[in-house]
Structure 1
Amino acid sequence: MAEPTGEARPGFFPELQGLQRDAAVLAGRFEAAEAAVSEASGRDPSEKVRVVLAALGRIASVEVDPQWQSRIRPGDLSPTVLAAYQDAGSRRLETWAAEIGRTDIRPGPHDQGSMLGDDAPAAPAEAGSGPADESSHESIRRLWSLLQEATDRLDDVVRAAAARSETVMTGHDPGGHVTASFTGGGELTNLAIDEAWAAEASAREIGTALTAAITDGYAAVDRSAHEATTQWPFPDLDRISGSPTALLATLGLPSMPDTEPKG
């Protein structure tokens, strides 16, 4: 791969403005979709178990009908809960897709007044059309070096992520009656329930224990993810990708004009 020359493209700012407007509309759609699926729920075929999902499609609560044993045996309680979870996930996905496909979504309030601003003046076509100065060349060389280093280390990151995704993580309720198993990515895969206890416990107690074990499992998944994040090998890339100003500075380009209303 040839090293970049550091020459700036004409019309850089107008093109960036267009991309930002498109991103603002898409962000508005995501915001509306997230609100629409904030409490998706589903039931098993017997309609004796209800699972409520919260953010990121995680289980917020499991509710068991007081008459559940009229349709479900204690030994079948685990697959019944998983069936309700799958139904909730399907409903959440359908709602999400419908919201994303709407055409009447406007940019959300947090997307108004973009970094560039609707009335931000475009950079003159001739600005930056010639060779960049020496500092700009050096900045782009630094960025290119960062990207090269990221490419060299990406295989290690991918292998570590794959290993984590295959790791089985578990959560338990305080009474030790329920064990919830998850993939490293946070997907609930199994519930081991003490059948003798379930046969005698109330529906409320069962729902509370299931919810507690699942919540504990999510906490284990989050701890693993946090450990992986602290070992993330690309802090410099995070810095420039999360800040347009830092990115432009690294590229040796002028900062974008500030058109935010004051006060």
Structure 2
Amino acid sequence: MATTGVGQLTDEVVRSLQQLRWRATNAHRLMAEIQASSFQPVEGWDPGGAVRVKLESDNLPEVIQVANDWQHRLAPRDFGPAVVKAYQAAANTRMQAWASVLEQSDWRIHAEQARSDAPQPATPEARASERDLRHVAPRPLGEVAEDMISAFDNIAGIGVELANPVQGKGKSSTRSVTITVTKNALVSCEVSPQWPSRRHPATVAQALNEALANARADLVRATAAAEAGGRRSQLDSLFGEALAILSDPQRFAD
């Protein structure tokens, strides 16, 4: 009887993992279609036309440009907010592009498949989007299942991490510009109130882009540090082990 109970528990775990894998694969396919549109160049201006921001595919600014006549369009004390507004305008344009992609794609089918519990025949696109498991060496199913149960018990911790994303902060060499970014957004831009008024537009733009580059570099360092001990990293590792086990059913008989 004990053996039968263990077998039933194993079957339930396997079915749960298969459903999770199916849903994750279809969600990934839907996101891949949306993200593909990110490679289109996108830019935005602040309302006064003093600052232009061009976005990278990661939704962070690639370059910040300053109009030669910005002093006729903007008060020096409003320079930082103008950078943020230009970024927001570019981000809104990208959101509209994503919405257009969704309207033109079969996103409803993907969404329904992502919610479905029953796996469907894999298409070449689905197989291509699956995770590379060649270098994953999973532990026995019982150990992985136990760790996954513990991880899901602590799932609230991941919500806290998502609500407080890792930030990177960078300053210009003049210390007059400070930019803060997260993985997917420009959070703030602070510019010393009177500093821009005595500078050439090219000098202002240089300081802005210097602070941006330093913020990006700081974000990379901060993200690496967070992922080293983060719950999301641990759960991702466990998920990889689970998928590797599912890809080799013979493990259940060992």
TM-score grouping bracket, smaller chain normalisation: 0.5 to 0.7
Amino acid at match of 2:175: G
The superposition leaves residues 192-230 of structure 1 with CA deviations (integer Å, 9 ceiling, x where unpaired) of 223433112111111111111122123222222111111
Any conservation in 1 of the 2:43–2:90 contact (CA below 8 Å)? Answer: yes
Asked if structure 2 preserves the Cα contact closer than 8 Å seen for 1:33 and 1:100, the reply is no
Please name the residue that 1:189 is paired with: 187
Partners of 1:248 and 1:69 in 2: CA distance: 62
Which SS does the other structure have where 2:68 is aligned? Answer: coil
d(CA) in 1 for partners of 2:149 and 2:20? 25
* Number of aligned residues: 222
- Gap change, CA 1:26 and 1:179, over 3 Å in 2: closer
Structure 1 match to 2:92:
90
Residue 157 (structure 1) shift: 4.9
Task: Give the alignment of 1:141-220 within 5 angstroms.
Answer: 141-159=142-160, 161=161, 164-165=164-165, 170-182=169-181, 187-220=185-218
Return the alpha-carbon distance in structure 2 between the equivalents of residues 92 and 115 of structure 1.
Answer: 26
Name 2:223's counterpart in structure 1: 225
More helix by share: 2
The Cα offsets for residues 155-212 of structure 1, whole Å up to 9 and x where unpaired, read as 45554x26854x8753101222212244x66643332223433112111111111111
Q: For 1:55, what is the secondary structure of its paired residue?
A: coil
Q: Is the 8 A contact 2:227 2:233 kept in 1?
A: no
* Alignment correspondent of 1:114: 127
The residue that corresponds to 2:239 in the other structure is 241
Judged with a 3 Å threshold, the aligned counterparts in structure 2 of structure 1 residues 153 and 17 are, in CA distance, closer, same or farther, namely closer
Corresponding residue of 1:81:
83
For 2:214, the aligned partner's letter is D
Are the counterparts in 1 of residues 179 and 212 from structure 2 also a CA contact under 8 Å? yes
Classify 1:250/1:228 alpha carbon distance in 2 versus 1 (closer, same or farther; 3 Å): farther
Larger Rg: 1
Gaps of 5+ in 2: 108-123, 130-138
Q: For the residues of structure 2 that align with 1:20 and 1:234, how far apart are their CA atoms?
A: 15
Aligned pair in 2 of structure 1 residues 21, 58: CA closer, same or farther (>3 Å)?
A: closer
Q: Distance in 1 between matches of 2:209 and 2:54?
A: 10
Instruction: Give the whole-Å Cα distance in 2 for the aligned partners of 1:238 and 1:247.
Output: 15
Structure-1 separation of matches of 2:180 and 2:25: 42
Compute the TM-score of the two structures, normalised by the length of structure 1: 0.66
- TM-score, scaled to structure 2: 0.68
